[in-house]
Structure 1
Amino acid sequence: MLAKGLWWLMTPWLLPKRVRVRRANMEAAQAAAFRDAQTQHGLQLVRDSLARAAGSTETLNASGTDKLAELNRAAGGDAAFLSPWPRQDQAEIEDVWSAARWCIDLARLHPDFHGVLPRRVAGPGREGLQWTPEGEKALASLSPHAFSCVTELLENDPSSRARQVFLFQQELRSLVPHGLTPAGWPHLLPWFMRYGLAAGKLRVEEIWWLFLEAAQDPRRELMLAHAFTPAWQQTHPGGATVFGREKFVAWFAAEYAASGEWLNTATWPEWEEPASQIRTAYVATESWRTAHPNAFADASRASALVAWLASPASPLSEALRAWCAKFDPSILGAELAKPGVNVIGHFCYPSGLRVSVESLVTALGLNEVATSLRDIRTDAKDDPCHADFHGLESHDITVVHVQPEPLLDTAYERADLFERLPRPYRIGYWYWEFDSIPDSWVTHAQKVDEVWAATEFVARGLRERLSVPVRTLFPGVQLAPYARRGKSHFGLSEKPYTFLFVFHMMSVMERKNPLGLIRAFKSAFGEDEGVRLVLKTSFGDRHPEQFEVLKKAAVGGNIVLINEVYTPDNLLSLMDACDAYVSLHRSEGLGLTMAEAMLMGKPVIATNFSGNVDFMDESNSLPVSYKLVKLGQAIPPYDADLEWAEPSVEHAAQLMRRVYDDQDWARELGARAKESAETNLSLQSAGRKIRHRLEEIKAMRGKSQAE
């Protein structure tokens, strides 16, 4: 303490900064304490509501046209919900939110709101929104601009953010997992209006739309609740299938005092494809497995299972036997015997890991491998589509596409998925940026049966330490659909030749090395030249000190810094609008943005080290020379003794200069890069190799079970 006091006295010029930091820390602590208090108040509100309901015999049946009345009753007289705005006139529709108010008013004031609000159609091959004739008639009366506003509203799913707020509130969902069913409205709707609005920075229109959607199809809400409540999945593993939903619904009605026609399972649409339902029920039903062991080993065994289920010898009811008899055993058996895999990963978190897992799944689909998908809740800024990934662990192989740290131990919890026991064959898909892995990863590897890596660079480091098999299985790279936009769309002038680098502040700035890139760019070009460097990053607020260093380094020299979370569409559009791509990374597990730039036909300059050298060489890109150096200090999650590349600033400057000075040659290089990437990085090829490995695992497991 004495030494610290002396230091403060000897450095008075740092006092203003210390005061600002201390004030910021105090304000952050106060804000966190307030949020915690609000969270607890909200949970207590729900507990009190549940306690009152426990002593009441009143139920919400939400049958027929009573659903709106039940919603209004559930609001408990909340004026902000019941009378949220003056009636929206169609002539005053100017944007998506006035369009939302107009749609909601139509639903609220129509005798049967089913005739107005677009219905979400769920089921195999039928996902989407569908207007009824009454709704079509209302739409026809709109002006072209108003119609375009309504269309834009529906394309962006106005309920998605509110639903995501609910799904991300774990303690709340533990109290009211049924919150979006009629039985849960009285407990959840008041919470949304008093606490959810602020917690999710929502609009009242979003909450109205969510509950109208829930009221329109409570059967779908109950199936979604099952899909995201692990405790229900454990006790009723087949609850979402035709084989188990009757028993599940009977339990639900008794547990939550629910009633109404929406609980009549005879009227329910099918939630999943027939093959998926049979797989799920097979895992859940011991008598099936006893009668037909290893039923999906080949098409003949699977066909025999389907035929047995439809026969009087099966333990099924007459109605379920009739359901099974609708299908040709040979056709459905062939579908059941196809390779399949469960995939748990970052489907909503904007990152390279998301692009990787999406590529993996697309590659599998191109090779006719069935998939069951689950998203891992990661961050409040996740895209609001967690609910779209509701597959169960129905296949016998699971790929957990998440880093060992910090999320492997909580992957199932964050996916809202019951961890099937006995567990399927489990594969970890891991990325790393060094040739030596942390000691803790050896422990994590005990929870998987094998590990896949995208590149040989990653695989070598894993093989040195792990006893489980390690396979190099590239996920494939394909450009997602995106709109072509000019530089002006991103606030950039069109004329200057533009180099681009895209990185994520959460991915360790020292590793991405934007400061080295800035030095190289400033060395190569003067401020009076028609050339520019764009650094696109995100989450700068999470790393304020590093971001401040980056901002200061970028001052001058025609350097533009963008700190925003872009959609995949906008990110690819920005890359397309720029002229060349450059990465002076110190290490990469894969180098996804470099691969994407090559697929666009951009000349790419990049450090000649780590994962990107699997697809980059002097024939299709401009590799930058480097020397290996130790980190010298710990940079979490990396240890001080690890080695990475220190790319040559001088060589990088020369290459950027050459690209700018000879742009015709640079375009030719970009064309070669595109041709090379399309050949070597294709999803079709990647998926073929992955399918082959899945078939090997299936055969290996089938053999061991037979023995």
Structure 2
Amino acid sequence: MRGVYRSVRGHLLQRLIVKSRYAFNPGRPVEVVGYLSMVAGVGESARLCAVALSKAGRQIMLADVSTHPDEGKLVEWAPALASDGQPGSRIWHLNPPMLPRAILKMGLGNFARAFNIGYWAWELEVVPAEWRNAMHYMNAILVPSEFTRRAIAPLTSAPVIVVPHPVSERPAAEGIRQKFGIAEEAFLVSFIFSGGSSINRKNPQAAIEAFRQFSAECPDAFLLMKASGSPARDEALRRLMQSVEGDRNIRVITDNLASSEINGIIKESNVYLSLHRSEGFGLTVAEAIMHRTPVVSTAWSGTADFCDPDNTWLVEPLLIPVVDDHPEFADLKDAVWADPSPVAAAALLKGIYSDREAAKRKAEGARDYLLRHLAEHSYDKALLRLSAMQAS
């Protein structure tokens, strides 16, 4: 039944939605639509947008279309006061598979009465049919990286503008090492990922392999991986956790943590390690850089925009065909993604381990690089650009 729904959603519902003829009206509020009360990454994307627009002085409205709202204590965010009334534009922080349900929930007539902007985070160079079908009813599309823009822009006549997630250094809980039983003097390596967005794409197994090679020579090292998902329902996540059973210096946790605790893990780490196969942006990598944590990252896809080649530790990958059973990636032909070398990553970890003070100085430079990138590609500047396009 789920496969039938996906087919109807991708090929029928997407085509029933009519593109708005309303012009972009910068004088009216911007409505941010998304999974505002969900801990998922797409929900965080919407919350970051709302806060950034508020700080820029924009009047905003909020539309929460969450399918599975989480406990409020897990979702920590505070936008400025929202406006009432009819929005002039909407930013939909939902990828195309999520859009039909949300649009129908808000009403097709309501959808057509505003300038609609999609914020889409796609992770490959080949774009699925369902995403291409959704392009015909969006007035503009924002994307988190140049990598995603290059994939989407040739397929639509709508403006496609890069706006990275406006990450900032947010409060980090203290005592994280004590909470998870990690020695204060341990060399802590961390990685945070969601099992629901394809474990194969996030590639935690490569991080484990790299860490094992590195820790063979550095026995005081510890790898802490925070996964979102349930091993009882996710076989791939369960296999991953089983693969580290018996390793005293590797731990994979699936606890529900507040965002301040997630930030605490990142901030207390000596290295953040992401050997992803592909990212539309790479939110946790950017958050690690913002917290001045040295970053080892795959040198491909969305993270390439903001990972300073002089001040982050990059693993140049081979590109291999995408093989994945995730519904978003299963039927894509000619798609490739990265295959970063655990051996190369282990060597970079050893280099950071051997000169931690130099690594801290480089991490500060990486943060400066990220801040410049964010300032140059803000939501406010994207909306000003849309206004200028319309005026011309």
Decide: shared fold, TM above 0.5: yes
**Cα 1:557–1:530 shift into 2, 3 Å:** same
**Cα 1:440–1:688 shift into 2, 3 Å:** closer
Note the alpha carbon deviations across 1:205-243, whole angstroms, 9 max, x for none. Answer: xxxxxxxxxxxxxxxxxxxxxxxxxxxxxxxxxxxxxxx
3-state DSSP of counterpart to 1:374 = strand
Q: How many residues align?
A: 363
Aligned to 2:61: 372
Aligned to 2:199: 509
3-state DSSP of counterpart to 2:39 = coil
Aligned to 1:651: 344
Q: CA deviation at 1:468?
A: 2.6
The one-letter code of the counterpart of 2:222 is R
Asked if 1:429 is matched to 2:126, the reply is: no
Asked if 1:539 is matched to 2:229, the reply is: yes
Mapped partners of 1:631, 1:557: distance in 2: 33
The one-letter code of the counterpart of 1:636 is P
Asked if 1:667 is matched to 2:360, the reply is: yes
The one-letter code of the counterpart of 1:648 is S
* Unaligned 5+ runs, structure 2: 1-22
Contact 1:531–1:558 under 8 Å retained in 2: yes
Mapped partners of 1:668, 1:347: distance in 2: 36
**Cα 1:504–1:392 shift into 2, 3 Å:** farther
Q: CA deviation at 1:539?
A: 1.2
**Cα 1:528–1:573 shift into 2, 3 Å:** closer
Contact 2:38–2:69 under 8 Å retained in 1: no
Task: Identify the match of residue 358 of structure 1 among 42, 47, 69.
Answer: 47
3-state DSSP of counterpart to 1:535 = strand
Aligned to 2:35: 346
Q: CA deviation at 1:678?
A: 2.6
Mapped partners of 2:191, 2:299: distance in 1: 16
**Cα 1:444–1:643 shift into 2, 3 Å:** same
Asked if 1:395 is matched to 2:87, the reply is: yes
Note the alpha carbon deviations across 1:291-341, whole angstroms, 9 max, x for none. Answer: xxx9x97xxxxxxxxxxxxxxxxxxxxxxxxxxxxxxxxxxxxxxx74531
Aligned to 2:383: 691
Mapped partners of 1:492, 1:608: distance in 2: 30
Contact 1:339–1:694 under 8 Å retained in 2: no
Aligned to 2:373: 680
Aligned to 1:622: 313
Q: CA deviation at 1:460?
A: 0.8
**Cα 1:434–1:547 shift into 2, 3 Å:** same
| TM-score relative to the length of structure 2 | 0.84
Greater percentage in strand: 2
* Structure possessing the higher radius of gyration over alpha carbons: 1
Asked if 1:410 is matched to 2:101, the reply is: yes
Note the alpha carbon deviations across 1:510-534, whole angstroms, 9 max, x for none. Answer: 0000011111111111287100111
Task: Identify the match of residue 381 of structure 1 among 63, 70, 73.
Answer: 70
**Cα 1:685–1:544 shift into 2, 3 Å:** closer
Q: CA deviation at 1:652?
A: 0.6
Note the alpha carbon deviations across 1:474-499, whole angstroms, 9 max, x for none. Answer: 24221333433341134433221100
Contact 1:342–1:393 under 8 Å retained in 2: no
Asked if 1:568 is matched to 2:259, the reply is: yes
Greater percentage in helix: 1
* Unaligned 5+ runs, structure 1: 1-293, 298-336, 701-707
Contact 1:527–1:557 under 8 Å retained in 2: no
Q: CA deviation at 1:392?
A: 6.2
Q: What is the correspondence of 1:135-534 to structure 2 with a 5 Å cutoff?
A: 338=27, 340-381=29-70, 383=72, 394-405=86-97, 407-413=98-104, 419-420=109-110, 422-526=112-216, 529-534=219-224
Q: CA deviation at 1:640?
A: 5.0
**Cα 1:535–1:475 shift into 2, 3 Å:** closer
Task: Identify the match of residue 598 of structure 1 among 268, 278, 289.
Answer: 289
Q: CA deviation at 1:457?
A: 0.3
Q: CA deviation at 1:454?
A: 1.1
Mapped partners of 2:91, 2:137: distance in 1: 12
Contact 1:590–1:611 under 8 Å retained in 2: yes
The one-letter code of the counterpart of 1:573 is G
Greater RCO (CA < 8 Å, at least 6 residues apart)? 2
Aligned to 2:12: none
Mapped partners of 2:29, 2:255: distance in 1: 37
**Cα 1:379–1:541 shift into 2, 3 Å:** farther
The one-letter code of the counterpart of 1:493 is A
| TM-score relative to the length of structure 1 | 0.48
Note the alpha carbon deviations across 1:62-102, whole angstroms, 9 max, x for none. Answer: xxxxxxxxxxxxxxxxxxxxxxxxxxxxxxxxxxxxxxxxx
Give percent identity, aligned residues only. 27
Q: CA deviation at 1:368?
A: 1.6
